[in-house]
Amino acid sequence: MTEITCKLLVIGAGPGGYVCAIRAGQLGIDTVIVESTKLGGSCLNVGCIPSKAMIHVAEEFEKAADAAAGRTPFGLTAGAPALDLKQAVAWKDGIVQRLNNGVAALLRKAKVKIVHGRARFRDGKTVVVETETGPKTIQAEAIVIATGSAPVELPFLPFGGDVISSTGALALTELPKRLVVVGGGYIGLELGTAFARMGSKVTVVEAQGNILPLYDTELTGPISKRLTALGVEVLTGAKALGLTPKGDGLRIETADGKERSLPADKILVTVGRKPVTDGLGLENLVLDMDGRFIRIGERCETAMRGIYAIGDVTGEPMLAHRAMAQGEMVAEIVAGLPRAWDKRGIAAICFTDPEIVSVGLSPQEAKAAGHELKIGQFPFAANGRAMTRHGEAGFVRVVADARSELVLGIQAVGQGVSELSAAFGLAVEMGATLQDIAGTIHAHPTLGEAFPEAAMKALGHALHI
C-alpha cells in the first residue's frame, strides 16, 4: 500500500475543495486533494455551469422563435428556428471540459498533488483512498471535508428511465414534449423554464403553497407571471404520489385532495440535495452533526481538532461561492493566518426568468430580528436600460435600519439582475448606509441605477418615480 504524508488533505475537488487546495498551495502548504469523479464537482460538471449554458441556449432559441412569429416589438423577423439539442449539449460539454482542464492546471501550478479515488477515514489523521492502481494511505496534519451534495431521490420516484434528476436533465439529447417537474424551488424552476422556452410543455408540482418558498411573494410574483406567459402549469399545494400504472406520467394529489394524472415523457425530480458522506467513514470520527450535515463553527472547524468541513456538506446555503470563500479561509487558517467567517454578504441567486438576487436580511427577517425599518423599492419600469433591453418586470429593494440607516439587506427581481449581486454583496459586506448607496454615482444608462434610486426612495427623495 502506497503511503503519502502531507500537511493538508482536501477530500473533494468541487468549488470549495479545489479553491482550498489552490490557496493552500500558494501559501506553501504541502497539499493533497482527493476526488472520486471529475475535478470541479457538481457545480462545474452537472450544476451551475452546464445549467447556465442550457439556460442560454433556451434564451437564444426563444428569441429566434419570437422573431419568426413576429412577436418582437421592434420589427425584427426571421425564419422558423430549429434546435439540435444534441449539438447544444455537446457545446455545453465542451465548456465543462475546458473548465475541468483549467482546474487541473491551476492545481498543478499551485503544486497540489491530485489523487483520483474514493476516500475513507481510518481515523482523524488518516485516510485510505481506493484508486485504480490500489489503495493509498494518506496521513495529514489537517483534513478538509468538501464532498458536496447530490440530488435527493424520492422513494416512490427513484431515478432511472423517465424519472431524472437535474444531472439527467442536462444530459438529454432529445427535447421532451411533456416535462413534469416535481419541486418548485430554484433548480426545478430554472430547468423547467429553460425547457419551456425550448418548446416543452412543462408542469410544475410544488407541495408548498408557493413556488420558491424561501422568497416573499413580491419577488416571486414576476416569475409566476412569466411562467403563465410561457404556458407552464404550476400546481401548488400538490403532492407527487408516484408513476401512473402504465408508467407514462405522474400521479399527484392536488390541493383540494383529488387525485390527478399528469402525462409526461420525462419527470424531473428536484426536491432538494443531500450531503455526500456515504462511505466516507465518518463513523470512525467524533463529529457533531445537524441531521445528515456536518456541524461547523465560525472558522469551519468541526468537533475534532484539525478536521474542517466546507460547502454543501455543512448544509444551507448550498452555494458554490459560499464553498469557495470557506475553502480560501480554511487554507489561510491552516497557514496560521487570522481569518473568520461571516455569511452576511453572500448573495443567493435564482437564474429563473426573470432572475432573483437576495443579499442579507429580507424585510420579514429584519423585522423578526427586532429592527424598525426603512424600505426603498424602485421599479425597472422606470429604468431606461431595462426598458430598452432587459424588460420592465421587477424592481430593486433596499432594507435598512430606520435609526442608523445601515443597510441590512438588498433584493432584486428582473432580467439580468444576477450581475448586480456583486454590488449588493459589497454594500452589505462593507456596512454601507442608505446615504453611502444614494451618494455613489451609478453610470447611465444601466440597471444598476435602480440601486441608488431604491436607497433614495427609502430616504424619501427618489428622483425618477
Active site residues: 444
Burial label, 67 (beta-carbon count in 10 A; 0-12, 13-18, 19+): middle
Phi, psi of 74 (to 5 degrees): -110, 20
Amino acid, single-letter form, for residue 287: L
Q: Which helix (H) or strand (E) holds 181?
A: strand 178-182
Q: What separation in angstroms does the CA of 25 have from each of 142, 145, 211, 369, 446?
A: 14, 17, 43, 41, 40
| 279: region left, alpha or beta (phi > 0 left; psi from -120 to 50 alpha) | left
HSE-up of residue 185 (Cα within 13 Å, Cβ side): 13
Q: What separation in angstroms does the CA of 209 have from each of 206, 237, 239, 267, 366?
A: 7, 5, 11, 21, 23
C-alpha cell at 108: 498543478
Q: What is the largest CA-CA distance in the chain?
A: 72
According to DSSP, the β-strands at 118-123 and 126-131 are antiparallel
Assess contact for 353 and 226: CB atoms under 8 A. Answer: yes
